[in-house]
Amino acid sequence: MATLATPLPSPLTGPIPGQPESHDPARLVRHAADLVPDEFLASAELEYVTTRDGARLRCALWSSPQATPRGTVMIMTGYSEFIEKYYEVAWDLQKMGFAVLCFDWRGQGLSTRAHPERRGWVQNYATMVDDAIEISEWLQRRGAPSPLLGLGHSMGGNVCIRLLQNHPSLFQAAVVTAPMLGLKGLPNWLLRSLTEAVSRAGMDGSFAPGAKENDPHGPHIPLSSDQRRIDAWRSYLRTDPWLITHGVTWRWLREAVASIQEVIQPANAARITTPLLIANPLSDSLVDPVPTRRFADMCDAAQLLEVADSEHELLQECDSLRAQFFNAFDAFIDTHTTANPTAADNP
């Protein structure tokens, strides 16, 4: 059963959560503005999954309320996100009949931190793919109901697509929202040249342009039109500042651009055989919707859902836009899967 955290003071105090040398139990953070019932959060099975290289990834698993579950949805979050931000998404999916797994990537939330100052850092995206595979293996050991289904947002959407390209039997179907296939601003080729030059200059750990410390009490650039949901997830950062991930480093940006370049190659797009629903928010101010549309055209297994009025964070958007997405999700999964209450298949 879930262990619920009490508010922590800021600045940070106590040991760093999730570090390889620590033995802290996995926990969830709560606050008065939670958008889901207490009993839902209390029912989560929490565990730190230790990867083969020693990182500890915080996981929360909710069982399906149905006698015959529709499968298990594995949520892969975006940059700087954390389990608490996806409480409502997990609750909605559970009400639809799914078991739900959400986890913190290494370097985010309460998982092992990759940068000593909690800046956005990733060794490479292959490591993230490997971490997702290890999480899927843990799910199988836990007897999570099959089929296993992928749901990735933004950065997590990029990783989800890489999984489809390199591990075609992992998911029976997958859905991505605002997948990171092209960033607003400079084109990929120019960003790649720039980030590689900065890396050669030894500045990998420095903030990329525009990146900074993340102050949950300060101004915020909204990526959703729903202020209630924005306030709710930002309150978790104020309640437990250990959840905070600061702005991206040059290294993170370099590896992100390299992963984008790999994913969008026409030959790699054509390799995907797993049914894939791509939700493309057309009012996205962070990820460019044009490369997403182009990728969907190259991928025979893909179905494109364009959401005209949605900002980047479709899963935290207003009720009408979320309903549009979840209706499409429900119909897509129903069409492309067959539920089986046994453990999820091996990747």
What pLDDT, in 10s, does the model give residues 158-171? 999 999 999 999 99
Stretches where the chain sits below pLDDT 70 are 1-13, 339-347
Q: Residue 4 has what pLDDT?
A: 46
Structural domain contains residue 288: yes
**Residues recorded for the chain:** 347
Q: Residue 7 has what pLDDT?
A: 41
- Strand 99-103 and strand 56-62: pairing? antiparallel
DSSP, residue by residue, 58-85: EEEEE--SSSS---EEEEE--TT--GGG
* Structural domain containing residue 115: 4-8+17-335
What's at 328, amino acid-wise? Answer: A
Cα 87 from Cα 135, distance rounded (Å): 19
DSSP, residue by residue, 23-62: -PPP-EE--TT-SS-HHHHHT-EEEEEEPTTS-EEEEEEE
Opening angle at CA 74, ends 72 and 76, nearest 5: 170
Q: Residue 259 has what pLDDT?
A: 97
Q: Residue 219 has what pLDDT?
A: 84
Shortest CA distance to 256 belongs to which of 186, 321, 172, 319? Answer: 186
Which residues are 248's β-sheet partners? 120
Structural domain contains residue 347: no
Helix or strand (DSSP H, E) at 295: helix 289-298
Q: What is the pLDDT of residues 56-81, one digit of tens each?
A: 999 999 999 999 999 999 999 999 99
Structural domain contains residue 47: yes
Cα 28 from Cα 3, distance rounded (Å): 6
Opening angle at CA 107, ends 135 and 27, nearest 5: 65
Query: Which CATH number do you get for residue 225?
Result: 3.40.50.1820
Distance (Å) of CA 176 to CA 50, 77, 146, 201, 207: 26, 10, 19, 35, 28
Structural domain contains residue 344: no
Buried-state track 47-86, b at ≥16 Cβ within 10 A, e below 16: bbbebeeebbbbbbbbbbeeeebbbbbbbbbbbbbbbbbb
Q: Residue 225 has what pLDDT?
A: 97
Structural domain contains residue 346: no
Structural domain contains residue 233: yes
CB 293 within 8 A of CB 304: yes
Structural domain contains residue 317: yes
Q: Residue 43 has what pLDDT?
A: 97
Which residues are 131's β-sheet partners? none
Written as six digits, the tokens of 72 are 């298990």
Helix or strand (DSSP H, E) at 262: helix 250-263
CB 242 within 8 A of CB 287: no
Q: To 10 degrees, what angle do helices 188-200 and 250-263 make? A: 140
Residues 6+ apart with CB under 8 A from 136: 74, 148, 170, 344, 347
Residues 6+ apart with CB under 8 A from 273: 168, 301
Domain total of the chain: 1
Structural domain contains residue 345: no
